[in-house]
Amino acid sequence: MHTRTREQISEQMRRIRKVDTKPELLVRRLAHRLGYRYRLHRRDLPGTPDLVFPSKRKVVLVHGCFWHQHHCPLGSKKPRTNVHYWLPKLARNKDRDVTAQRALEKLGWSILVVWECETRDESRLTKRLRRFLR
């Protein structure tokens, strides 16, 4: 088994994007194809939602399974290095998600969470988006 150095791991972590991820770009493309227009990453809303549909008061959050600890195989993976840092960080991500979603709901926004693993089935995801945005 190949072990990576701290520098290699750090370099890999730096390359991970916060916005414009592949799953997010796919969701944006599907919503656009369905004829919906949206705003991106509105910082004035709790949690800075990925896609915001202001006239419908709806938001779509696109979550990476690992980073937001989904219950799928990818989200169930645990870090093997620097565990004392990463496990609390991942737990804070989940807590922040819950807080942001509650705040959005309190402000009258409807929320659809799309998990990275769900973007693999485009037709199913398209149906979910269509149903949510109606």
> How high does pLDDT run on average in the chain?
92
In the predicted model, is pLDDT for residue 6 greater than 80?
no
**With helix as H, strand as E and coil as C, how does the chain read?**
CCCCCHHHHHHHHHCCCCCCCHHHHHHHHHHHHCCCCCEECCCCCCCCCCEEEHHHCEEEEEECCCCCCCCCCCCCCCCCCCHHHHHHHHHHHHHHHHHHHHHHHHCCCEEEEEEHHHHHCHHHHHHHHHHHHC
Residue extents of the structural domains in the chain: 20-133
Decide which of 130 and 74 is more confident.
130
pTM across the whole model:
0.87
pLDDT, residue 18, reads 67
In the predicted model, is pLDDT for residue 130 greater than 80?
yes
Question: pLDDT tens, 32-68?
Answer: 999 999 999 999 999 999 999 999 999 999 999 999 9
Q: What is the mean pLDDT of residues 124-134?
A: 98
Q: Does domain 20-133 bear CATH number 2.50.20.10?
A: no
pLDDT interval class at 17 (50, 70, 90): low
User: Considering only 14-23, 74-83, 88-97, 121-130, which range has the smallest mean pLDDT?
Assistant: 14-23
pLDDT, residue 69, reads 94
Decide which of 14 and 82 is more confident.
82
pLDDT over 90 for what percent of the chain?
A: 78
pLDDT, residue 114, reads 98
